[in-house]
Amino acid sequence: MKKVKGAPQFYEWGSSTAIPSFLSQIPDGRPVAELWFGAHPLGKTLCEDGVSVEELIRRDPGKILGPDIASTFSHSLPYLMKYIAVDTPLSLQVHPVRSQAEVGYRQEEQEGIRLDSFERTYKDPNHKPELIYALTQCEALSGFRARRRIISLFEDIDTDVARWIHGVMQKSLPHSRLHEISGVKKVTQVLLDPQTRPTAREIGELIGCCRKRLHRGCSPSPRADSIACQMFDIYPDDPGVIISLLLNPVTLQPGEVLFNPAGTLHCYVKGFGVEVMAASDNVVRVGLTRKYVDVHEALECIDFHAAPPVRLAPEIVSPHINMFYAPVDDFELCLCHLLEDQRTQLPVHGARMVACLQGQAVAYTQEESVEMVRGDVVFVPACDGPLTLEHCGDEPTHIAHIDVP
């Protein structure tokens, strides 16, 4: 069991204060967007002795991961945990399923595109389903709305682009679910294609109408219009601001969880939380970014079915433990809540990341113990066996425990 130091990622959409303040550090002005904990080569997590988690696993994968997990996941840690702090909307994006990632990674390797190249899309051959556990109120977009809801958003906007979108979606209504998918896909494709995408003037006209109805109090979706206007103020010539109106707006309160399966078009707009995902950095960007946008690959990856956002409800397994079971084999999230002098034991499946989100605690294994305060993360190898958490200090203790199912 070892305390670990995360790998910071400084992206322009990040917050300069949220993560440093959470860690009781003095901000230095840089936008700390993410802090990675795992064994991904692009974000090395270091133990207190300076050895990376990646190296620790490489030395003895069966012992550190557990023999079954080492065998199943090719001697690698299957998940990645992050603290994520979103100050301005990050890119409109989708993550590939595993088969797409394997093909895309192999092709870019054969083409000799460097991993750190601007035009590199696939950083590894893995899929990237993910969840976010909100520590503050979080705003996001996730998945496509139903056809009729999309139609209602565009029917009172008197611009050429809005009328065209409205017409395409209307034509899909009387037909099959296949027509629904083709309608949304056609709209998305035309908005993104360099040959057909709307001009900055056309985007501005449409968003101007959204802004007017929002101010008049007659918006059919105030959250959607507000997010689109916010995005337009940052990216005024990006058609992704129009695509945002096709998606479900989501508000998470602290303690709530949103799951984004691979293939879900999504965007985090604002907030601070814990993100857990398959161990991958594969991000196929659609827009709202100055990074590389791969329209063709994005259209291949996106699931165009209409579906509500996937909010994971906790399964209460004890007075102290809530489990969030994502429908994947790579990770599960356990939230442990302890009050004065309470303790609980957690079973072991594999190698675990344990993060203190509030208060203070002592983590015990059979051989050792570690004191934790807010922001601390401890890596617990499978060979350490069951983990006991004990509350200490004056305020309630909240612990996030990430393991393999």
DSSP 244: G
Average pLDDT over residues 31-54: 94
The pLDDT tens digits for 342-365 are 999 987 889 999 999 999 999 999
> Could you tell me what percent of the chain has a pLDDT over 90?
92
Average pLDDT over residues 291-311: 94
23: number of Cβ within 10 Å? 16
Strands 92-94, 79-86: parallel, antiparallel or unpaired by DSSP?
unpaired
* Across 7-11, 60-64, 173-177, 386-390, least confident range: 173-177
In this prediction, residue 167 carries a pLDDT of: 95
| SS3 at position 323 | strand
In this prediction, residue 141 carries a pLDDT of: 98
In this prediction, residue 177 carries a pLDDT of: 60
Residue 49 in this model has a pLDDT that exceeds 70: yes
Residues facing residue 116 across a β-bridge: none
Strands 138-144, 257-260: parallel, antiparallel or unpaired by DSSP?
unpaired
Q: Which run of H or E residues covers position 47? A: strand 46-47
Task: Name the average pLDDT for the chain.
Answer: 95
If you write DSSP's letter for every residue of 327-373 in order, what string do you get? Answer: SSSS-EEEEEEE-TT-EEEE--SS-EEEEEEESEEEEE-SS-EEEEE
Distance set, CA 324 to CA 233, 314, 315 (Å): 36, 5, 6
Task: Write out the catalytic residue numbers.
Answer: 285
> Could you tell me what percent of the chain has a pLDDT over 70?
98
Indicate the pLDDT class of residue 2, thresholds 50, 70 and 90.
very high
30: number of Cβ within 10 Å? 11
Fill in the amino acid letter for 87.
D
Distance set, CA 400 to CA 62, 249, 318, 321, 378 (Å): 24, 26, 15, 10, 10
In this prediction, residue 38 carries a pLDDT of: 97
| SS3 at position 389 | strand
Residue 384 in this model has a pLDDT that exceeds 70: yes
> Which residues, 6 or more positions from 323, have their beta carbon under 8 angstroms from its beta carbon?
314, 315, 316, 317, 332, 333, 334, 335
In this prediction, residue 172 carries a pLDDT of: 82
Residue 179 in this model has a pLDDT that exceeds 70: no
The residue among 100, 89, 92, 91 whose CA lies nearest residue 124 is: 100
Average pLDDT over residues 37-61: 94
Cβ proximity of 307 and 319 under 8 Å: no
Residues facing residue 250 across a β-bridge: 140
